[in-house]
Structure 1
Amino acid sequence: MARLQALAPKLSQVEIAVEIFKALGDPTRLRILHLLSQGELCVCNLAAALTMNPSAISHQLRLLRTQRLIRARRDGRRIFYALDDDHIERLLAEGFKHASHR
């Protein structure tokens, strides 16, 4: 039993993972992340691709940044967004791969 307890994730890790999966659980945020897995995009590109209001996209991007799922880079007046790291890209790829098998 002690060995199993040692293998269990720390509560703090579980809480962080729960917040990440909550962020991934929203259809709009998941669509944004999928587009960002193709490359860096600005709010205007995302809004056009998803036929959504830019302010609604910005709100979702803010939530994704809070969870450190995406990063931002300013270029003049525009801000470009990308996935934060390859862990997120793999997580998305596996999620969509799993969904295609259902």
Structure 2
Amino acid sequence: MSTPDLVPRRTYGGVIAVWVLAVIAGVAIGILVPAPWRAQWITVALGGCVVAAFAIQLWYGRSQAFIQRMAASVLGALVVLGLITAGFGLAAIVPR
């Protein structure tokens, strides 16, 4: 039998941390990777965000709403990387 936490830890920090990781990875890919390889590296970054989300959410040690926190983390990272990729696409069609 487990006792409930009197003051449970906030779980939104882990979700936001994965989003920040996605922003950092997307910007690093935009700066360091040549244009033809960016799409492949964005998928690798999303995979890394999924693994990071698992690690962060398991580190919290709370089973309540685990699936919801994982979904929010991964979906947010997908949206962030999608917006960054859309920026890459728009930048590619703008003449220099």
Is TM (by shorter chain) over 0.5?
no
TM-score by length of 2: 0.31
TM-score by length of 1: 0.30
- Which is richer in strand? 1
- Which is richer in helix? 2
